[in-house]
Structure 1
């Protein structure tokens, strides 16, 4: 099989891409339509597609059920929780208090993303964790078109976020890797497999968080791969009011020469 063009799709799932999803990213359904059109238009020239799947247990450190305030109430989605607030008793973890405090300490020292509580989303095995239907159909069509050309292709699915005691935005590594938990540590094999391709197109949700962090991890851990990245900038959107969190990453990427293109400008 040729190893010319790969496509890495970050977290294009029901809960992010459908207006009825638990953590819907506004405009994501339009991003998905453009991405699906890109796949179909360039079907025979896309040699590999990798989709990532954000996947969480209910009692995840970023979900309301993990926490309570002084009156026993859960935090509202989009609440920011700091280590000082935990130490002062404003917020109390319902589980693993020692590990949670250590996590917040390390996260704040890292200085990249504050700890946010999200709407409970992408639960393991749920409808919300499934691939967006429009994208799923486009992937099936991509496989069928290539079959008709006597080419066997199948998309790769990679999960993240299953360990409940660390946020896991980027596909390649959790925000704070946990000792003895391989699923949180650097996925070098995925970096290596993508690096086998000449061009790696990048798209998905949300631009401000999971796409941005995945791109940063590529720049940090696989600089040779970073030079091959082509960001489909009209196939991703920010979580409202939080776009500023990812913007420094994209600015750095542009300074390093990462390409940014519109999906309909690409004819492979």
Structure 2
């Protein structure tokens, strides 16, 4: 095993720190021309020539989580967490443009009628739960505090309300048995076709710039469309089967295999306590089944991710920090985006 220390590049002049918290249109044609010139000026080679293959896995760097005022802005402890994270993340991409082989952004992708959205549940008088402030437990269902909205059965189970009720009960039970977070009713977010679903403009621009400069197609990974399960992790949904043990959803086996084959995998994005932590946890599970020492090739960008914190409501900082400490203990490397990083590669 040899090591390679990254040679950091300057930040291209088009990058504007002040725009990271805003939504705007990336000028693709102009930026493509800039990227080709930049590659020539800095002798940036095509990614296909990389001897050390490095993947940057970006979890849900979308407007819905990263822009103040959007549905689930991840403010972290500071209140500006995701914006600060994405400033550092954009700079990280530009500085390490010459060594990042492939960028894999994940896209949390939802429609209105899903098990974690308000429309799915009603109380005795037909009211929907208050998003972000409501967790639904087995006891809630058993006592009739919350029940599946009969009106959604037509869309989800072809009108079979009994089937939908059975699955919802089983689903909440499985979350508890598997040590997952309880079923949280979230605000409508990451809505397919909406502005919130899109990547943050500054990060999208950096990813596109990388794609052109390195001639490396960006690999977008979709998650979260199944109406009957949450999907925090890009590698697998929260629950894989229904109450009759029939397949409900599948692991992302192709991406798992792909990640295991890279020489290094760098991970950042939102939120540290949820989709980032769950993805890393699933990746670690897969690594342990193959070779536990492979954990050493996973690098976690600690300053490019923040936990979910809703002042006065929830604070997942401790859970996020505990998860990252466990990942480090397993051999994963906690790094900062400003560091010069030594990546191991095959001799």
Query: Contact conserved, 1:64 with 1:76, CA < 8 A, in 2?
Result: yes
Residues 76-124 of structure 1 deviation map (CA, whole Å, 9 limit, x = unaligned): 1121110110110000111421110110111111112111111110112
Alignment of 1:201 onto 2:266: yes
2:142 counterpart residue number: 87
Point out the more displaced range, 46-55 or 2-11.
2-11
1:214 aligned residue (262, 275, 279)? 279
Q: 1:267 Cα shift?
A: 5.2
What SS class does the counterpart of residue 250 from structure 1 fall into? helix
Rg larger in structure: 2
Query: Contact conserved, 1:39 with 1:142, CA < 8 A, in 2?
Result: yes
Q: Distance in 2 between matches of 1:155 and 1:20?
A: 28
Q: Distance in 1 between matches of 2:321 and 2:114?
A: 26
Q: Distance in 2 between matches of 1:207 and 1:254?
A: 14
Query: Contact conserved, 2:240 with 2:247, CA < 8 A, in 1?
Result: no
Q: Distance in 1 between matches of 2:226 and 2:275?
A: 16
- For residues 153-172 of structure 1, the aligned pairs below 5 Å read 153-172=216-235
Point out the more displaced range, 132-141 or 224-233.
224-233
- For residues 107-186 of structure 1, the aligned pairs below 5 Å read 107-146=175-214, 152-178=215-241, 179-181=246-248, 184-186=249-251
Residues 115-152 of structure 1 deviation map (CA, whole Å, 9 limit, x = unaligned): 11111101122111111111101111112322xxxxx2
What SS class does the counterpart of residue 53 from structure 1 fall into? strand
What SS class does the counterpart of residue 98 from structure 2 fall into? helix
2:123 counterpart residue number: 69
Alignment of 1:254 onto 2:317: no
What SS class does the counterpart of residue 219 from structure 1 fall into? helix
Unaligned runs of 5+ in 1: 147-151
2:113 counterpart residue number: 59
What SS class does the counterpart of residue 39 from structure 1 fall into? helix
Q: 1:20 Cα shift?
A: 2.4
Query: Contact conserved, 2:229 with 2:238, CA < 8 A, in 1?
Result: yes
Moved over 6 A (4+): none
Q: 1:180 Cα shift?
A: 3.5
Q: Distance in 2 between matches of 1:54 and 1:18?
A: 15
Aligned length: 261
Q: When the two structures are superposed, what TM-score results if normalisation uses the length of structure 1?
A: 0.93
Query: Contact conserved, 1:213 with 1:246, CA < 8 A, in 2?
Result: no
Point out the more displaced range, 218-227 or 89-98.
218-227
Alignment of 1:8 onto 2:62: no
Q: 1:227 Cα shift?
A: 2.8
Q: Distance in 2 between matches of 1:56 and 1:253?
A: 29
What SS class does the counterpart of residue 304 from structure 2 fall into? coil
Q: Distance in 1 between matches of 2:231 and 2:320?
A: 15
Query: Contact conserved, 2:223 with 2:231, CA < 8 A, in 1?
Result: yes
What SS class does the counterpart of residue 274 from structure 2 fall into? helix
Alignment of 1:236 onto 2:310: no
Residues 228-254 of structure 1 deviation map (CA, whole Å, 9 limit, x = unaligned): 110000000000012333343222211
Q: Distance in 1 between matches of 2:296 and 2:240?
A: 25
